[in-house]
Structure 1
Amino acid sequence: MDIVLNSVEIFDKRSPYHGKRKNVHIKNGVITSITSQKVKARQTVDAKGLKLSIGWFDVGAHFGDPGFEHKENLESGRSLAEKSGFTGVAVLPNTNPVVQSKNEVSYITSNNKNELIQLYALGAVSANTEGKELTEMIDLHHAGAVGFTDGFNPIWHTDILLKTLQYLQKFDGLLINRAEDRMLTMFGSMHEGTQSTLLGLKGMPGLAEEVMVQRDLRLLDYAGGRIHFSNISTAGSVDLIRKAKKKGLAVTCDVAVHQIAFSDKALEDYDTNFKVNPPFRENGDIKALIKGLKDGTIDLIVSSHCPQDEESKNLEFDLADFGIIGLQTFMSVIKGHYQDLSLEELIQGFTTRPREILGLPLPEIKVGSQADLTLFDPDKKWDYTLESNLSKSRNSPFLGKTLTGKSVGVFNNGKVYLDEGL
């Protein structure tokens, strides 16, 4: 590797070069110069109009491997992440078998030394993610698990959640929980409100999320530790977490990138590609999520990548599985639906903050640093079609649309991917 990115805009608040156009030389995986002078290299990329940030990082994608490789596997997931701008992905444990032993953690991470995309394992909190019996989380931690979660399954058992908060304090481990009271969402398939009534579908009330957020925060206050809420979706949840942060509790949270793109009115045609959990809420919730991102209540933006095959989606709406594939369209959704927030405000949520929360080293854009970088064009238009879709699955409401914003290259681990158009 011997590449110079000419006239690229550096996009990293922690860098003294932030907002400046420089020629960045990367050789053998290391940033060797950042200068305004001409640099000779084997490959020169005209990067005028492009931005360079530290590598994007996603928390909580589902690659389905092992067990559900027909939807996505580690190989296709890595390739997808690479071409979508991500250099690191923490994957959910909802596989078969579940990521609940050293062997499963090793299966996820063992090939990292040979790959551009680094995969990180999130270990299961409970055996088979059923919420009944704790896993050996210390062993999982020593094996390399970077966080602990039952993934799609909320930790419904109060004592299990309490003991997990206490247990993880032995090594400052992070508990990640999906806030949902499934007794309140049972048989539901969309947000409970006027729209669900009009469509004749069983609703999932925002209350189901908020009572779990409130429960978990009370337990966090009682037991100590750290908790992260994944995929929050309601104004009430944002308000509860904001107050808990002001109180000094060690709480963080994320929002799925698609959550702000649509309201529950998008479901009027019963298109199962809009069926997600948590469901698309009302406009008031969307405004609260935007405000939460702006004031720092919401720490991360995640892809919530959840591939589903045709047999899972091509059904009546109430029978179809939840989920959207979200990696490839990540930047486009931000560009198209987060206009109330600047990219400068948002990018911390998928570069520095996820690594800080997981306790991972932070890449830097400086001479002598290992290159862990994403090159992107926020204004690039592209057609998202079945032919250009990179996932093994196709469950996306954005298919068939012309989108704006795209990653065009990544550098990491001494390797590089550059879009063919460069």
Structure 2
Amino acid sequence: MRAFFLKFNLNHTLRLSETIKFNMKILLKSVKIIDKSSKYNGTTQDILVVDGIIREIAENITAEDTKTISGENLHVSAGWFDLRVSPKDPGYESKEDLYTLTNAALAGGFSEIVTLPNTKPVVQSKEAIAYVKNFAAAQILNIHPTGAVTKNCEGKDFTEMLDIYHAGAVAFTDGDHTLWNADILLKTLQYLAPIDALLMNRPEEPSMTIFGQMHEGIESTILGMKGIPSTAEELMLMRDLKLLEYYLGDSKKDKSCLHFSTISTKEGVALIREAKQKGLPVSCDIAAHQLAFTDKDLHTFDTNLKVNPPFRTQDDIEALKVGLADGTIDAVVSDHNPQDEESKNLEFDMADFGIISLETTFATLNQFSELPIEKLIEKITCNPRKLLRLPSVSVNIGEEANLTIFNPTHEWEYQTKDIKSKAKNSPFIGKTLKGKAIAVINKHKVHINNVEK
């Protein structure tokens, strides 16, 4: 399969893997539109973007002085949106900084990401929010910081959430840390209600996962490793759902006010499905890589497979797929968590959890979810924006261009030399993946990925 190019005025061609700012016209040739909110959904059209605005959508557009993006089997959707990214910057720049994070996100096709507060210092002040937003202002990538619920994400004392919200936090979470204190979670729901902000919690009963290395089951017994039981996730889901019912009383809400991050178990999906059927305002996401591996894959002791929540069983994966298909699972995230060599090149029980995944999320979801492309795209475009009460993005005339151009059938090998993230902790290195982002258009800028076999 040939590479994709950015063509200047039809007589000069430049291969790019970088971002450029444009003040002229961008013409997308013969792209299939995947956007249920667009009247052009499912059709193949040309799209003309002028000064950052979609000016024309038609079957055959001819325009002078255009920069043209064309290629095989091109699709276009609203810009992809990732709800869960560990930025590491500030404080842990040896693992990732905001520049390499931006490059990795664009390589993965994302025009917007949400960052967790688990940096050093923790994102728990107006200044910390401003640090992220000021960086993002000059980038093609929109970066939406979340604010910590508790000081230093320790689960003990509240941060000044109202101040952080007005500074630009899009949601509140202790990120990698579970809100283990029931009173804290209940009061947070009450505190966030007047500003209609989303609370995000990773369901895990921490007292059950101490020293845990992988999913608790037959495989952990064979390998002699301390397990992380499914019950740890399910108990916290039960607790939080009960607290939510207590908080709501007889009142009703039409938007999710409690979001569960990176669920991983069959019973977890069932609990959230039941809660939604009862009308509780809840939502959830899964990490894309949870669909690709099981606990059996850990027999290699590859520390790149050490993630939390851990890779579960095939039965859990099948339940996740059903949950994606029936709408129980609202969104899919990368759960991008960069780690340096000092954190991963160790014995398995000493290595840190996490993988890099911004660059592989779409391909993983495309290859393993069994979702039709329209529903798949919803999980990484309109659904995350709706959960965060952000403006919708669509492929329609007159809309500001926030677009991802991609080829869902392009097969490519993920190689270390091509990784844009500063970290290299990925179990997908050396594997052939299916589906690739070609370009991102956002904020009057265009980024073209160098896409080759």
TM-score over 0.5 for the pair:
yes
Counting only pairs closer than 5 Å after superposition, residues 52-63 of structure 1 correspond to structure 2 as 52-63=76-87
Render the CA deviation track for 1:259-292: whole Å, top value 9, x for unaligned.
0111100101111110000000011111111111
Q: Within the alignment, does 1:240 sit opposite 2:240 as a pair?
A: no
Say if 1:191 and 1:203, in contact at 8 Å, map to a contact too.
yes
Match of 1:294 among 320, 325, 328: 325
**2:197 pairs with one of 170, 173, 179:** 173
Task: Give 1:32 shift.
Answer: 0.9
Is 1:318 the counterpart of 2:349? The answer is: yes
Matches of 2:286 and 2:135, distance apart in 1: 29
Rounded to whole Å, the distance in 2 between the matches of 1:421 and 1:259 is 26
1:148-163 equivalences in 2 (<5 Å): 148-163=172-187
Question: Secondary structure of 1:149's partner?
Answer: coil
Deviation at 1:112, TM superposition (A): 3.1
Give 1:17's aligned residue.
40
Matched residue SS, 2:438: strand
Summarize deviations over 1:143-168 as a string: whole Å, max 9, x none: 00000000000011111111101101
**Is the 2:291–2:365 Cα contact (8 Å) retained in structure 1?**
no
Among 288, 297, 315, which residue is 1:257 paired with? 288
Among 360, 369, 382, the residue aligned to 2:390: 360
The offset of 1:47, in angstroms, is 3.9
Match of 2:57 in 1: 34
Higher deviation after alignment, 189-198 or 398-407: 398-407
Pairwise CA distance, 1:182: 1.1
Give the AA of the match of 1:21.
T
Distance in 2 of aligned mates of 1:36 and 1:10: 12
Q: State the Cα deviation string for residues 91-147 of structure 1 (Å, max 9, x = none).
A: 000000000000000111113332210101110000000000011111011000000
2:116 maps to which of 92, 98, 102: 92
**2:320 is equivalent to residue 285 of structure 1:** no
Percentage identity across paired residues of the two chains: 49
Question: Deviation of residue 255 (structure 1)?
Answer: 0.1
Distance in 2 between residues matched to 1:210 and 1:409, nearest whole Å? 39
Residues of 1 paired with 2:148 and 2:330: CA distance? 22
1:421, distance to aligned residue in structure 2 (A): 5.2
Partner Cα distance (1:204, 1:111) in 2: 37
- How many Å separate the matches in 1 of 2:349 and 2:262? 21
Residue type of the alignment partner of 1:248: G
Q: Residue 391 of structure 1 aligns to a residue in which SS? A: coil
In 2 relative to 1, CA 266–421 (structure 1 residues): closer, same or farther, beyond 3 Å? Answer: closer
> 1 CA distance for matches of 2:358 and 2:239?
31
Which of 357, 372, 384 is the matching residue for 1:342? Answer: 372
Task: Find the aligned partners of 1:402 and 1:270 in 2 and give their Cα distance.
Answer: 21
SS in 2 for 1:170: helix
The Cα of 1:48 is off from its aligned counterpart by: 4.4
1:227 pairs, out of 258, 261, 269, with 258
Is the 1:113–1:413 Cα contact (8 Å) retained in structure 2?
no
Shift, 1:70, TM fit: 0.8
**Alignment match of 1:369 (pick from 399, 405, 409):** 399
Alpha-carbon displacement from aligned partner over 1:62-110 (angstroms, at most 9, x marks no partner): 1101001111111111111112100100100000000000000011111
- The equivalent of 2:220 in structure 1 is 196
User: How far apart in 1 are the matches of 2:159 and 2:38?
Assistant: 41
Q: Is the 8 A contact 1:383 1:400 kept in 2?
A: yes
Residue 105 (structure 2) pairs with residue 74 (structure 1): no
TM-score (norm 1): 0.98
| Distance in 1, Cα, partners of 2:394 & 2:363 | 25
Residue in structure 2 matching 1:108, options 109, 132, 138? 132
What is the rounded CA distance, in whole Å, between the counterparts of 1:380 and 1:356 in structure 2?
Answer: 29
Write the letter of the residue equivalent to 2:184: I
Determine if contact 1:58/1:302 at 8 Å carries over to the other structure. yes
For 1:5, the equivalent position in structure 2 comes to 28
Runs of at least 5 residues in structure 1 that lack an aligned partner in the other structure:
none
Give the corresponding residue for 1:412: 442
Per the alignment, residue 45 of structure 1 pairs with 69
Shift of 1:420: 3.7
Aligned counterpart in structure 2 of residue 139 of structure 1, from 158, 163, 172: 163
Q: Deviations over 1:288-308 (max 9, x none)?
A: 111111110000000000000
Decide whether aligned partners of structure 1 residues 351 and 238 sit closer, same or farther in structure 2, where only a CA change above 3 A counts.
same
Q: Which residue of 1 aligns with 2:6?
A: none
Letter in 1 for 2:115: V
Letter in 2 for 1:69: E
Deviation, 1:7, is 0.8
Aligned residue identity for 1:289: L
Q: Which region of structure 1 is more displaced relative to structure 2, 6-15 or 124-133?
A: 6-15
Counterparts of 2:375 and 2:115, CA distance in 1:
25
Contact 1:23–1:39 (CA<8 Å) still a contact in 2? Answer: no
For 2:348 and 2:374, locate their aligned partners in 1 and report how far apart those are by CA, in whole Å: 38
Instruction: Report the Cα distance in structure 2 between the residues aligned to 1:172 and 1:312, rounded to whole angstroms.
Output: 38
- 2:216, 2:291 → 1: CA distance? 17
Higher RCO (C-alpha under 8 Å, 6+ residues apart): 2
Task: Please give the alpha-carbon distance, in whole angstroms, between the structure 1 residues aligned to 2:423 and 2:229.
Answer: 29
CA distance in 1, matches of 2:227, 2:68: 54
SS in 1 for 2:406: strand
The alignment covers a number of residue pairs equal to 421
User: 2: CA distance between counterparts of 1:239 and 1:414?
Assistant: 43
Provide the residue aligned with 1:327 in structure 2.
358
Which blocks of at least 5 consecutive residues in structure 2 are unaligned?
1-21
Paired amino acid for 1:62: S
